[in-house]
Amino acid sequence: WLNALQIRIQCVFKQGLAILKLQKNSLQLFNITFLLKPSSIQASEFDSSDEEPIEDEQTPIQISWLPLSRVNCSQFLGLCALPGCKFKNVRRNVEKDTEELKSCGIQDIFVFCTRGELSKYRVPNLLDLYQQCGIITHHHPIADGGTPDIACCCEIMEELAICLKNNRKTLIHCYGGLGRSCLVAACLLLYLSDTVSPEQAIDSLRDLRGSGAIQTIKQYNYLHEFRDKLAAYLSSRDSRSRSVSR
């Protein structure tokens, strides 16, 4: 009988709600909304081609600038969360974010997310977008919550030092801009100065990015062992270099 009356019923699942829409000749009669219990529906049932798209965030990407004056450097190092990220309640626009970074004058970006993370957070082509914007990209993937091996960290330190020495506006990021990025920034403070202690480096990053900076015990311990491990690595590298040159 609904067909005879030319009435169309449509059910849309959206954010824990079931919305029943009744239409007649493209004229909407009324909507009925039901609140669904989480246990009463499978996650896949929330997917609907008729679901209205969630708008991307319009707020500018937030960059925190770490002053490096205490380590005898006149530059600042930028830290931020993952540009263009679409995950859970975060809905950023990757094109807008990359254009904004370009307009800020960013010249070099260090990315610590893995390729898998970039796909997970819906920015699989982010590195290519940076390059298309004329930004030099340094990709050093580090596992989420983890630490780089000392050889990789030394390479990052050397590349960062060159960027800063050449007065290049430099930004680093991981996913949230709290764990891996803050760890690398703290290591940089220790790398550039012998007078900064690990605790002072941690405090600097937590003052800048909040109490969540340096997130795991593994990262905390890594920072405290950084100078000894770096010295041992550089000594070993120099020994190998001398052996090859003989």
Catalytic residues: 174
How far lies 45's CA from each of 21, 48, 157, 243, in Å?
17, 8, 48, 64
- Name beta bridge partners: 190: none
For the record, the structure tokens of 19 come out as 């919305």
User: What span, in angstroms and rounded, lies between the C-alpha atoms of 110 and 158?
Assistant: 12
In single-letter form, the type of residue at position 195 comes to: T
Q: What one-letter code names the amino acid at 240?
A: R
Please state, in angstroms and rounded to a whole number, the distance separating the CA atoms of residues 6 and 109.
58
Which tokens belong to 145? 């919550």
**How many other C-beta atoms lie within 10 A of the C-beta of residue 148?**
20
Q: Give the residue from 231, 233, 219 showing the smallest Cα distance to 151.
A: 233
For 105-128, the DSSP string reads: T--EEEE-S-HHHHHHTT-TTHHH
Query: Residue 188 — φ and ψ, nearest 5°?
Result: -65, -40
Contact by Cβ (8 Å): 202, 186: yes
